[in-house]
Every structure is written in C-alpha cells, then in structure tokens.
Amino acid sequence: MTRRTGDAEPESEPPPPVTADHLRTLLRHQAATVTVITAPGRPPAGFTATSFTSVSLRPPLVSFCLDQGSSSRPTLEAAEHVAVHLLGRDQAELARTFATSGIDRFAAPTSWQPGPHGVPLLDGALAWLVCRVVERITAGDHLIMIAEPVATRYVEGEPLIYHNGRYAHLH
C-alpha cells in the first residue's frame, strides 16, 4: 500500500529514543571526505575530521566540528586562523596519525611547513584552505567552527574517504 502525503500515521508504539551508539552506527553508512585540521600554537595542534562541509558561497564559509574533549581544543579555541587539508587516497596513515591521541602528530614522518598566518600546512594534501575563524558554536559535546577561506591550493587526485569505520577511496 502506498501512503500519500497527509495520510494519518498508523497507530503504533513510539520508536525507542535514539542513543549515541545508535546514531554513530547509522552515520557509519555515510561516506565522508577525510580532512586534517591544523592550527598554529606552541606546539601546533591538529586532528582528523570527517565533519568538514561548505556552508556558504556568498560569503565563502566552511565548517567543521571538534569534540569538546579533544586535546586540540584549547589551541583551536584560541586560533584566529586554521588550515583544512583534504587528504588524498594514499594518505590514510596521515589520517590515522592525526586521529591518534597522546602523540606528537607533527613529528616525523609527518611532513609540513608553516603557511600563511603561521598555520601548519601538511605536504602532499590534495587541497588546503587557510581560513580565518569567524564563529564558534557549542553544540552538545562538540564545537562547531565556521571559517572564511583566505588562501587555497589544490591539485587533481582521488580523495581519501571514510566509510563504515575504515578509510577507503573511490577506485
């Protein structure tokens, strides 16, 4: 039977509440581009994120989310500028490095250099955007950061994606 818009819902028991584990399991089915966010500091900070997205073209704005418990949070909260790196298909190990807590993520074999506004730029990324942070919004257990790109660079290549709990690529 096909339901039409506006038809009354059949009476049934309300669905159980959505838990964090349930939502995490469901979202594993969404493929996402893998990015590494970096910020200047002493020491610099960085983390792997799959929450990067475009917010607006006029004006150009992007966003990403940071767990409130992240060791990178204090540096990111203070940063005026950050860099967003879109990783290529062969950079899963770099993604793992920046997803690992309790290590110096910028030590060898990570290869990087200071970029505009002192932001650490990772070598070999498909693209990077140096951004000015324009807004921080607390949302549950995360901090949403909205930023305006002020410098960019990109090369052609296949992106690294994250799907179903693992890194993958398109081909």
Q: What's the predicted TM-score (pTM) here?
A: 0.85
Q: Which two tokens stand for residue 81?
A: 């500028």
Q: What is the pLDDT of residue 28?
A: 76
**Among 32, 55, 52, 117, which residue's Cα sits nearest to residue 82?**
117
Q: Which two tokens stand for residue 74?
A: 């204090």
CB 125 within 8 A of CB 52: no
Q: Which residues 6+ apart lie within 8 Å of 99 measured at CB?
A: 47, 48
Residue 143 placed within a domain: yes
Q: What helix, strand, coil percent values describe the chain, rounded to 5?
A: 15, 40, 45
Q: What is the pLDDT of residue 18?
A: 85
Q: Which CATH number fits the domain that encloses residue 84?
A: 2.30.110.10
Residue 150 placed within a domain: yes
Residue 47 placed within a domain: yes
Q: What is the pLDDT of residue 8?
A: 60
Q: What is the pLDDT of residue 31?
A: 82
Q: What is the pLDDT of residue 57?
A: 95
Residue 15 placed within a domain: no
- Residue 153 to residues 13, 37, 98, 113, Cα–Cα distance (Å): 53, 15, 21, 14
Number of domains composing the chain? 1
Peptide bond into 43 cis (omega under 30): yes
Residue 147 placed within a domain: yes
Residue 86 placed within a domain: yes
Q: Which two tokens stand for residue 132?
A: 């000015």
Q: What is the pLDDT of residue 15?
A: 83
Element (H, E) at 87: none
Q: What is the pLDDT of residue 26?
A: 77
Spans of the chain below 50 pLDDT: 1
**Among 129, 160, 170, which residue's Cα sits nearest to residue 50?**
160
Q: What is the pLDDT of residue 27?
A: 76
Residue 36 placed within a domain: yes
Domain extent at residue 24: 20-156
How far from the centroid of its chain's Cα atoms is residue 4's Cα? 38
pLDDT in tens, 10-30: 678 888 888 888 877 777 777
Q: How many CB atoms neighbour CB 42 within 10 A?
A: 6
Residue 167 placed within a domain: no
What does the alpha-carbon distance between residue 30 and residue 15 come to, in Å, rounded to a whole number? 22
